[in-house]
Amino acid sequence: MKKKTALILGATGLVGKALLQQLLDSDDYAVKVLARRSSGISHPNLEEHLVDFDRLPEWARLIQGEVLFIAMGTTRRKAGSKEAQYKVDYTYPYEVAKKAASAGFKHCVLVSSIGANARSRLFYLRIKGELEEALKGLHFPRLTILRPSLLTGEREERRWMEELAAVWMPGLIRIFPGLSSRRPIPGSVVARAMRKAVEGKDTDAFKVFEGAEIFHLAGDAGEK
């Protein structure tokens, strides 16, 4: 059976690294990774390219395939400034997606954020919303957006506030069931949902999943 060619942005992050491993484990994909640093993974189905995202014309020819997975993002603290964060969270993924759309990619799957809104007063939610709106304008045959709440899992850097929130949020949700959409979600579950969005029977041109919908899509509705 012919393998699908998938291109991943953000393969060294929490969700992207889990997605990369899952795609390689399935043996159904030929996987391309565009990244600033190596994932550290070696596999016969993996083609990894270390690139300078500020110099896209030099490597735009590498943007070939059928499915684009975008799990790219950072924090202002890690990026060093709002401007640098904007590049990672919006500019780079949008520019690659624009090339992918013109190259004939059939499906784009984006990890966004719960609360994403291009008109939000919160910088992080605003840029996530802006990226969603921009991708809609590229007219991929299929566009799937996942808006997870707090992501949990092992990261290379410690994020104390997220770790604390992951501890007390389940208790709050038990007291206030209306907060269930804010339920923390493992990065590996989001990755599995990204894969299921491509492999499932749903063929909607545009679909958004958030909160419990992501667990259901991943087949982990009962996972805590």
Which residues carry out catalysis? 124, 128
HEC string of the chain equals CCCEEEEEECCCCHHHHHHHHHHHHHCCEEEEEEECCCCCCCCCCEEEEECCHHHHHHCHHHCCCCEEEECCCCCHHHHCCHHHHHHHHHHHHHHHHHHHHHCCCCEEEEECCCCCCCCCCCHHHHHHHHHHHHHHCCCCCEEEEEECCCEECCCCCCCHHHHHHHHHHHHHHHHCHHHHHHCCEEHHHHHHHHHHHHHCCCCCCEEEEECHHHHHHHCCCCCC
